[in-house]
Amino acid sequence: MTTTSAPGTAHSLPAFNINGTNPRAIEDEYEAALKAVRIAEQLLVAATCHGRDFQTLPPTAFEQARDQRMQMLKHLCEVHDYIEAWYWHAVDAQ
């Protein structure tokens, strides 16, 4: 079974069976990972990225830093979606 988390993005999800990992174990592991990613997202959003810290650099330096920060938040969001897909897949299997 696969779950689509974003347009055009499908995650490969396990087919739980008697010989494989217990869905409850997957649920617990991915729940912990999801909590950690949520904390990372919140900490990055709260971390300073202000134009005043780039005033002695070329004018485009702050814009570049801000764009990089948004890209990193996007990557975290993708990781969040991936982990959440595994988590809910395990929950649904029980």
SS3 10: strand
Q: Is residue 16 within 8 Å of 58, Cβ to Cβ? A: no
Q: Whole-prediction pTM value?
A: 0.84
Extended strands (E) in the chain: 2-6, 9-12
In angstroms, the CA 78 to CA 6 distance is 9
In 3D space, the residue among 40, 16, 44, 37 whose CA is nearest the CA of residue 79 turns out to be: 37
Return the pLDDT at 9: 62
Q: Is residue 76 within 8 Å of 45, Cβ to Cβ? A: no
In angstroms, the CA 5 to CA 15 distance is 18
Q: What is the pLDDT of residues 19-74, one digit of tens each?
A: 999 999 999 999 999 999 999 999 999 999 999 999 999 989 999 999 999 999 99
Both tokens of 41, joined, read 């997202």
Residue 5 pLDDT more than 70?
no
